[in-house]
A and B are shown apart, each in its own frame.
Chain A
Amino acid sequence: MSKFLPPESYAASGAYDLLPFNFTRLEGDSYLATNMVGEALVMERDVLDALINKQLSPASPVYADARAKHLIAEQGDKSPAELLALKTRTRYQRLGNFTNLHMFVTTLRCDHSCQYCQVSRQSEDKAAFDMTPEIADRSLDLVFRSPSKAVKIEFQGGEPLLNFDLIKYIVGKARPRAVAEGRDLQVVIATTLSLATTEILEYCRDNDILLSVSLDGPHDLHNKNRPRPGKDSHQRFIAGLQAAREIVGFDRVSALMTTTQASLSRVTDIIDEYVALGFNGIFLRALSPYGFAVKTKSYAAYDTEEWLKFYKDGLKYIIELNRSGIHFIEHYTTLVLQKMFTATDPGFVDLTNPAGIGIAAVVFNYDGSVYASDESRMLAEMKDQTFRLGSVLENTYEELFLNETLLSTLEESFTLSAPMCSECAFEPFCGTDPVFSHAVYGDVLGRKPSSDFCKRNMAIFRHLIQLMQQDKDIERMFRGWVASC
């Protein structure tokens, strides 16, 4: 007759090895342990101690979880190493594509004079601040030197629409070239829409161009942040938004906000504005310490704690909206969640390791200067040219992308080699921002214990993990946000 053996015959032996993982205290006695691809387990300190000392018993409820999440492996098991290798390869897969985001600053001219603008904008009538076709051509050549199959061109400024002819010129050349090379080209214009005529919008529709528009909040806040002759930025924005959606397409227009001191107390109003205007998400950004922001001291005007309150209140409100049936996400959170829930790095330039400078994004300025990132350009506006890689008029692709500062910065800011980062359980969710660090602390790595970047992000990670630990429904909601992207 058939003989079945009991569970004990198949139980884990309890003889295990540690797989590479880091641990960091969450709060009190509670610790987070993560492996190289961000698979995470929360446990109490005494359990963690036992686990590390190879004394955790298979009878412990944590044992099977630690095994499944590849924090430990029973001796004799071969699949954990294979799976970890596969997942690690997935995590870093995007890197080989090299530069994907190419920003073209078509002009420094602008009809707005936003207080926080990182660009030393010139008033509307100085054509000396426009990119020339020759510079555009050289820049395009460099774009197509990237090995990435998917390439994104983003037009910025000033107000890029003030040099719309050049945009048409560039798109007219880039599209056929992308087709000929079998590449997927995405084109975006970052604009206020205040100057978007029907002709311009129709061109965008006919040429598959996406629009990224600035919306800081309800009209009083938006206008305060973004002064314009006529004091009608918000009004123009609304008109432009409607026209853009109707002509170019609803899903082709996304919004981006900038946070200022004035924004900090208005997070629910700002979110309400986004929801009311039909956007399905918002990006609650931190204020960057560059350009006019520093000059006008609006960066120093608030600190990380205030911003964190802004973020947490905003997230709380968004969760409530979701519970009431309104599907709305927070984009920065979703980027972090994507790193928590999957082994795929979304490749967000400001929160990735190695840093996205050059190897993920690059900026071609109106004058032909090449910058390692948008922040690098902002820094240059403050007379710090550290991250200027060269010029399209003078330097080859090799000279630009093998620039000494770029390479040494990539190495020195590498999280896995940095004190504190290299042992931080949040490292898989985090990244490095060498330009920020250089701007604020004078070196590309900075000291993490006193770094605002570190403080802000660690607080966000702790907060999200805590929310998910306390409420499984929120974990499911968050997973749904990642799924919808």
Chain B
Amino acid sequence: MLKLGGKVIRIEVAGDAPMPKRDKALFTISTNAALPKPMREWSAYLMREADSQIPTGFAHYIWIGEEDSKPQGLDGLSVTVLPEDYSYMQDGDIIRLNSARGEIRVLFRKNSPHNTIMVTEQCQHYCLMCSQPPKDIDDRWLLDEANDLIRMMPRGTGELGFSGGEPTLFGNDFLETLKLTKSLHPGTSVHILSNGRRFADRRFAADYAKIEHPDMMVGIPIYSDDPAIHDYVVQAKGAFDETIRGILNLKEFGQKVELRVVIHKLTIDRLEKLAEYLARNLLFLDHVALMGLEITGFTRANLDKLWIDPHEYRDTLSKAVRILEDYGMHVSVYNHPLCLVNPDVSKAYRKSISDWKNEYLDACTPCTRKSECGGFFSSGVKYRHSGNIRPFV
């Protein structure tokens, strides 16, 4: 699993260096010693070995290695020393450095297909399996930073995600961010993760539609056809009803909607009935994603309520997929090791875990179908995973 953020070993800011926003700044990583001079003003030069020549004029320098093996040529410059965890960084990645707290966060990875911007940690929900537990703080600066990041992102980015917390809590300001994305990166497809409730407000849904983005989709979770269960899983009364109305408004205004279901012990019993409910009521959904459980965030605190070995529910999963496919809906199964699902879901099965969170077990080493497998969440490898992992031989 890639470490995307954490403490640096040391960060030093030279006297006149730019760290304007409360000791925070964004930099684009460069490994190009011949980078044109004007571009060095917002770039951080990345070094892994002691070069003979250190190029001048960069806003910041990054040394990955031990503090004491840092090249002397970096003395006096703005420098961040990082542990080996960050050696995956590449030219073109965008990072945030916080000199006051001594922290780094990799916000954008140029060669990854999975870039997602977290615009807030606030949320009205409190999902039992939330992978990004909400915080009740005013973190509007995250949205501001998102705008900065979008301005720095390279052209030609394929796909960009927005998530949180709940991105729509910032209302029109969030819509402005989407408009900015469209203007600066018209070819980039946008995927928003949202509980969808804000869209029950028709005016907001209409304003969202007015953006007229050529390729934008909202991914909205529904965990059961029974509102009592859905509301319990997301820990918010009335959530189901409002989410449905949000989806209906989005569709009325011609927007793309994906339905996401995380499968665990609380959602598995009515999964087939949920599939029928979606087919009868929301046939116009653009996509349905059935997802495996990530053992992170709140999941660990609620593991006894949530954990079920996917191997146990593989037949139910097959039936649910079959129902959705019979109705002609576009279905994907995400985040499941291949050996834990039945062959009949192969059409829907995706190799899907974000590259930075993906790992395999030792038992997987001889497996002949590893290249087709979605693998595990690293959190699963560490904390809890199926006892039924078997390599294909």
Q: Note whether A and B contact each other (Cβ less than 8 A).
A: yes
- List A residues at the B interface (Cβ < 8 Å): 2, 4-7, 9-12, 39, 58, 64-65, 67-68, 74, 76-79, 82-83, 86-87, 342-343, 476, 479-480, 482-483
Residues 95-143 (chain B) with a chain A CB within 8 angstroms? 126, 128, 133
CB neighbours (8 Å) of B172 from chain A are none
Q: With A9-B232, A58-B228, A87-B280 as given contacts, are A4 and B302 in contact (CB-CB < 8 Å)?
A: yes
Asked if B248 is at the interface (CB within 8 A of a chain A CB), the reply is yes
The answer to whether B328 and A4 have CB atoms under 8 Å apart is no
The answer to whether B301 and A39 have CB atoms under 8 Å apart is no
Query: Which one of B229, B281, B298, B328 contacts A83 once the chains associate, using CB atoms below 8 Å?
Result: B281
The answer to whether B298 and A10 have CB atoms under 8 Å apart is no
The answer to whether B301 and A2 have CB atoms under 8 Å apart is yes
Query: Which one of A5, A10, A479 contacts B228 once the chains associate, using CB atoms below 8 Å?
Result: A10
The answer to whether A86 and B248 have CB atoms under 8 Å apart is yes
- Not counting A5-B235, A86-B248, a sample of 13 additional A-B residue pairs whose C-beta atoms are within 8 angstroms of each other reads A2-B126, A6-B232, A7-B229, A64-B226, A68-B226, A77-B227, A78-B245, A79-B240, A79-B244, A79-B245, A79-B248, A83-B248, A342-B280
The answer to whether B228 and A2 have CB atoms under 8 Å apart is no
CB neighbours (8 Å) of B232 from chain A are 5-7, 9-10
CB neighbours (8 Å) of B319 from chain A are 476
Query: Which one of A2, A39, A476, A482 contacts B322 once the chains associate, using CB atoms below 8 Å?
Result: A476
CB neighbours (8 Å) of A7 from chain B are 228-229, 232
CB neighbours (8 Å) of B245 from chain A are 78-79, 82
The answer to whether A9 and B280 have CB atoms under 8 Å apart is no
In angstroms, Cα B179 to Cα A81, docked, is 34
CB neighbours (8 Å) of B241 from chain A are 76-79
Residues 278-335 (chain B) with a chain A CB within 8 angstroms? 280-281, 298, 301-302, 319, 322-323, 325-328
In angstroms, Cα B322 to Cα A2, docked, is 38
CB neighbours (8 Å) of B226 from chain A are 64, 67-68
Determine the residue in chain A with the shortest Cβ distance to B272: A472
In angstroms, Cα B225 to Cα A79, docked, is 12
Asked if B277 is at the interface (CB within 8 A of a chain A CB), the reply is yes
CB neighbours (8 Å) of A6 from chain B are 232
Query: Which one of A2, A79, A86, A479 contacts B326 once the chains associate, using CB atoms below 8 Å?
Result: A479
In angstroms, Cα B224 to Cα A67, docked, is 12
Asked if B3 is at the interface (CB within 8 A of a chain A CB), the reply is no
In angstroms, Cα B250 to Cα A265, docked, is 56
CB neighbours (8 Å) of A64 from chain B are 225-226, 228-229, 270
| Most chain B C-beta atoms within 10 Å of own C-beta, residue among A2, A7, A83, A482 | A2
In angstroms, Cα B249 to Cα A82, docked, is 10
Q: Chain A nearest CB: distance from B155 CB in Å?
A: 40
Closest 10 CB pairs of A and B: A483-B326, A79-B244, A10-B231, A64-B226, A10-B232, A68-B225, A7-B232, A77-B241, A79-B241, A12-B228
| Most chain B C-beta atoms within 10 Å of own C-beta, residue among A7, A68, A77, A343 | A68
CB neighbours (8 Å) of A58 from chain B are 228
Q: Chain B nearest CB: distance from A68 CB in Å?
A: 4
Determine the residue in chain B with the shortest Cβ distance to A472: B319
CB neighbours (8 Å) of B240 from chain A are 79
Query: Which one of B235, B238, B325, B326 contacts A4 once the chains associate, using CB atoms below 8 Å?
Result: B235
CB neighbours (8 Å) of B229 from chain A are 7, 10, 64
Asked if B273 is at the interface (CB within 8 A of a chain A CB), the reply is yes
The contact string, 1 if C-beta is below 8 Å from chain A, for chain B 205-242, is 00000000000000000000111110110010110110
CB neighbours (8 Å) of B328 from chain A are 483
Subset of 28 A-B contacts with CB under 8 Å: A2-B126, A2-B133, A2-B298, A2-B301, A4-B126, A4-B301, A5-B232, A9-B232, A10-B228, A10-B231, A10-B237, A12-B227, A12-B228, A58-B228, A64-B225, A64-B226, A67-B227, A68-B277, A77-B241, A78-B241, A79-B241, A83-B244, A83-B248, A86-B281, A87-B281, A480-B326, A483-B326, A483-B328
In angstroms, Cα B229 to Cα A79, docked, is 16
In angstroms, Cα B247 to Cα A78, docked, is 13
Q: Chain A nearest CB: distance from B89 CB in Å?
A: 33
The answer to whether A39 and B280 have CB atoms under 8 Å apart is yes
In angstroms, Cα B327 to Cα A78, docked, is 26
CB neighbours (8 Å) of A5 from chain B are 232, 235
CB neighbours (8 Å) of A74 from chain B are 227
Determine the residue in chain B with the shortest Cβ distance to A37: B280
The answer to whether A11 and B326 have CB atoms under 8 Å apart is no
The answer to whether A4 and B231 have CB atoms under 8 Å apart is no
The answer to whether A11 and B228 have CB atoms under 8 Å apart is yes
In angstroms, Cα B125 to Cα A5, docked, is 12
CB neighbours (8 Å) of B302 from chain A are 4
Query: Which one of A82, A479, A480 contacts B248 once the chains associate, using CB atoms below 8 Å?
Result: A82
Q: Chain B nearest CB: distance from A207 CB in Å?
A: 30
CB neighbours (8 Å) of B281 from chain A are 83, 86-87
The answer to whether A482 and B273 have CB atoms under 8 Å apart is no
In angstroms, Cα B248 to Cα A65, docked, is 21
Q: Chain B nearest CB: distance from A333 CB in Å?
A: 16
In angstroms, Cα B237 to Cα A76, docked, is 11
In angstroms, Cα B281 to Cα A86, docked, is 8
Q: With A7-B228, A67-B227 as given contacts, are A76 and B238 in contact (CB-CB < 8 Å)?
A: yes
Determine the residue in chain B with the shortest Cβ distance to A7: B232
The answer to whether B128 and A9 have CB atoms under 8 Å apart is no
Q: Chain A nearest CB: distance from B261 CB in Å?
A: 15
The answer to whether A4 and B128 have CB atoms under 8 Å apart is yes
Q: Chain A nearest CB: distance from B137 CB in Å?
A: 15
The answer to whether B248 and A482 have CB atoms under 8 Å apart is no
Determine the residue in chain B with the shortest Cβ distance to A83: B281
In angstroms, Cα B277 to Cα A57, docked, is 21
CB neighbours (8 Å) of B280 from chain A are 39, 87, 342-343
Q: Chain B nearest CB: distance from A321 CB in Å?
A: 20
In angstroms, Cα B277 to Cα A65, docked, is 10
CB neighbours (8 Å) of A2 from chain B are 126, 133, 298, 301
Q: With A65-B273, A68-B277, A78-B241 as given contacts, are A482 and B326 in contact (CB-CB < 8 Å)?
A: yes
